[in-house]
Amino acid sequence: PPKTAPSAGMNFKGAGDNSFLTTANQLTQQNALEKAAQDLIKKHQKMENAVQQHHEANKPVYIRGKEGSRGNNEEDEVELPDDDDLLDGYDDSNDIEQWRAARLQQMKAEQEKKAENVGKGHGDLREIVETEFLKEVTGSEFVVCHFYHDEFIRSKVMDKHLRMIAPQHLEAKFIRINAEKAPFFVDKLVIKVLPTVIFFKDGVAIDRLIGFEGLGAADDFATGTLERRIKKTGILKGPCAFPFGEEDEDDYDSD
């Protein structure tokens, strides 16, 4: 079972109040370009659906001939406009160019966001100290923070997996902090078992992983198991980069 964090020199009792984090700056990401691209796609889909419906509803109609016209059993075909007539004069080249331009701008914005996140320390599992904690947690929208102990084997196992996941998910910041050297936040966050991994969104703790809870019965769980556990919190937005472990099959849907 997970080891209990040492209490020497630290008070591990607390009310579990995370309100000190609620004053963090709220970070929002604008999606105007993406919305514009989606609107254009919907417009083209709507047009294609209309053409398809017209085609289905206006197949050649055959009317039984009336007596005295072409004979009792003869059929007269009624000709209706075809798809070319329906689209005659329609020019969507401007819409296509607008969609391409919007998509290029969206891709550029995504690359700029990745570069910005790398500048904030995303892409690696970084060590921080207690005086840096608030700045680091509130400086990015999504943060994964591992409270560890140097002498605990399970803390080292957790570090190994987090170091593998961090470069694959630049949308989140991965940090680690020595619990023995961060008594204030250990107390405030009511951390009693190590390792403990806390997940932050906009500076607010939204979930935590205590020990290896939910990662399988053994200590040699797959990296993909931890990755999917983090993804369930909403912290990771990109697709999973690591394969399922056997312990995942009953708990997670395939990505």
CA nearest neighbour of 170 among 228, 209, 127, 125: 125
Judged against a pLDDT cut of 50, whether residue 20 lies above it is answered with no
pLDDT beyond 70 at 236: yes
State the pLDDT at residue 3.
54
- Position of tokens 């910005």? 116
Other beta carbons less than 10 A from residue 32's beta carbon: 11
The strand ranges marked E within 96-141 are: 125-128
pLDDT > 70 in the chain, percent: 60
Closest C-alpha among 229, 179, 182 to residue 209: 229
Least reliable range by pLDDT among 78-92, 196-210, 214-228: 78-92
| Cα–Cα distance, 4 to 9 (Å, whole number) | 15
| Whole-number Cα distances in Å, 218 to 22, 115, 155 | 36, 37, 14
How many other CB atoms sit within 10 Å of the CB of residue 169?
Answer: 24
pLDDT for 50 equals 65
What pLDDT does 84 receive?
58
Taking the CA atoms of residue 163, residue 168, residue 171 and residue 175 in that order, the dihedral angle to the nearest 10 degrees is 0
Buried/exposed code over 89-125 (b: 16+ C-beta within 10 A; e: otherwise): eeeeeeeeeebeebbeebeebeeeeeeebeeebbbeb
92-103 tens-digit pLDDT: 677 788 888 888
pLDDT, position 57: 61
Q: What is the model's pTM? A: 0.58
Count other C-beta atoms under 10 Å from residue 84's C-beta. Answer: 7
3-class SS at 40?
Answer: helix
pLDDT tens-digit readout, 30-73: 455 566 566 666 766 766 676 666 666 655 544 444 444 444 44
pLDDT tier at 10, thresholds 50, 70, 90: low
Q: Residue 82 is which amino acid?
A: D
Residue 107 — pLDDT band, cuts 50, 70, 90?
confident
Check whether 145 has a pLDDT greater than 60: yes
- pLDDT at 71 (0 to 100): 44
